Amino acid sequence: MQKHSEGQQARVVAAALKALGIDNFLLGIQDAAFPALPEEDTGCGSPYSDGAAGFLEFVRALGFNGLQLGPQGITARADASPYDGTLFPRNPLSLAPLRLSRLPGNLLPPGEITALVNRGPIGTARVDVASAARYIRTITDLVRGRFRRLGGLQKGPVEPRLVRPYLASRRRNAAWLERDGLYEILKAGYGGKNWQEWDGGAQARLDRTLFAPPAGTGQAAQKRIGELSGPHRAALEDYCFIQYLLAGQHDELRSLCENLGLKLFGDCQIGLSDRDAWYAQGFLLDDYLMGAPPSPTNPEGQPWNYPVFDPRRDPAARPGSPFSAGGAGRQALYRIRRAANRSSPWSDLSLGLPRR
């Protein structure tokens, strides 16, 4: 077999793809599966790490011209599958520590990161979610503390290069950041339980429906949101700041892929995470849950128990549109039409749209 250099191999693969009429030759990989350098290894991979950057150079040299990430949302403690993750917030486990030691923030000294990751049994062949969560929690606590000491949300040394962009991003994403931050606060207050398990009388009932209050409880819900937002403002800002750092590292990944000649794709979640279902109750069907249909490998189907959108409740609904629906109905119609064009009724119907 003829050997090729890395550059030659990429050109050979590109020519072969062109001859076959194939536009995209993608490497699919989940965030947690990316490699890391020893000095940044928290026990869970990240596409934003220095180790991942070197890996992507290698991937491009092999001839791949695109990268497909999995869903990047926050996962539940009892279910680490990214396909059950959150829709908007990214998983803090994907935060790359060494990136935090560089401009514009200089939020964490590299030596402190290395000392931290060297304390535990890192370097195993499998992802250790619990261990990685402890490391990332420590790292984010250090980062948030340094951010506040350097100026935080007040005028200070970091204000021109870090605080202003953060505040602009905070305003643009306020709707989902506030909502998800409140969920984090409530969940912690109820001992880490999911919203369906919150108990404590009338207060817990209101908290379970805070963004979809039953008739007659709307004012009480708004008052409760204000009560939570005030005393927990620091915790909310901490949550929003970590999401801002993750978004910044994702922008760096996009630039890296563009420079390498790699197209960047992203997968979607299968259904709604617990927190997404919490705030989406106002436009979900009350008496339906979604699963998977029968298949050769699962003849009886799979009871996923995902909530189902109610197209009648979509606020963007237009009279005369399919199902009298807005976005939810259009998505349903798209999937029905796509299924009708497949040869098998049990074909995968996932949309596979790029992540934001």
Distance CA 162, CA 103 (A): 9
Can you give the residue range of the structural domain that contains 58?
6-266
Residues 6+ apart with CB under 8 A from 36: 42, 45, 46, 49, 50, 51, 52
Same domain? 155 vs 71: yes
Distance CA 119, CA 195 (A): 35
Same domain? 88 vs 42: yes
CA angle 337, 339, 343 (to 5 degrees): 125
Instruction: Please indicate, yes or no, if residue 163 is contained in any of the structural domains.
Output: yes
Domain count of the fold of the chain: 2
| Confidence bin at 350 (pLDDT 50/70/90) | very low
SS3 291: strand
Instruction: Please indicate, yes or no, if residue 352 is contained in any of the structural domains.
Output: no
Same domain? 226 vs 286: no
Share of the chain above pLDDT 70, in %: 79
Distance CA 43, CA 46 (A): 10
Same domain? 227 vs 285: no
The answer to whether 10 touches 62, Cβ cutoff 8 Å, is yes
Residues 6+ apart with CB under 8 A from 47: 29, 31, 34, 69, 94, 253
Q: Any idea what the CATH number is for the domain that residue 258 is in? A: 3.20.20.80
Token pair 């934003």 is found at: 48
Candidates 305, 282, 302, 286; CA nearest to 294 is 302
96 or 334, greater pLDDT: 96
Domain boundary among 266, 292, 325: 266
Share of the chain above pLDDT 90, in %: 43
Query: Given the DSSP bridges, would you call strands 302-309 and 284-292 parallel, antiparallel or unpaired?
Result: antiparallel
Distance CA 185, CA 96 (A): 24
Which of 143-157, 187-201, 203-217 is predicted with the least confidence, judged by mean pLDDT?
Answer: 143-157
Instruction: Please indicate, yes or no, if residue 217 is contained in any of the structural domains.
Output: yes
CA within 13 Å, CB half, 60: 16
Which of 47-61, 141-155, 276-290, 300-314 is predicted with the least confidence, judged by mean pLDDT?
Answer: 141-155
27 or 79, greater pLDDT: 27
Same domain? 135 vs 177: yes
| Confidence bin at 314 (pLDDT 50/70/90) | low
CA 44 to chain centroid = 15
Token pair 């030596």 is found at: 111
Same domain? 175 vs 297: no
Candidates 233, 234, 243, 195; CA nearest to 76 is 195
Given a cut of 60, is residue 158 above it in pLDDT? Answer: no
Q: Span 9-24, mean pLDDT?
A: 89
Token pair 């869970």 is found at: 44
The answer to whether 120 touches 135, Cβ cutoff 8 Å, is yes
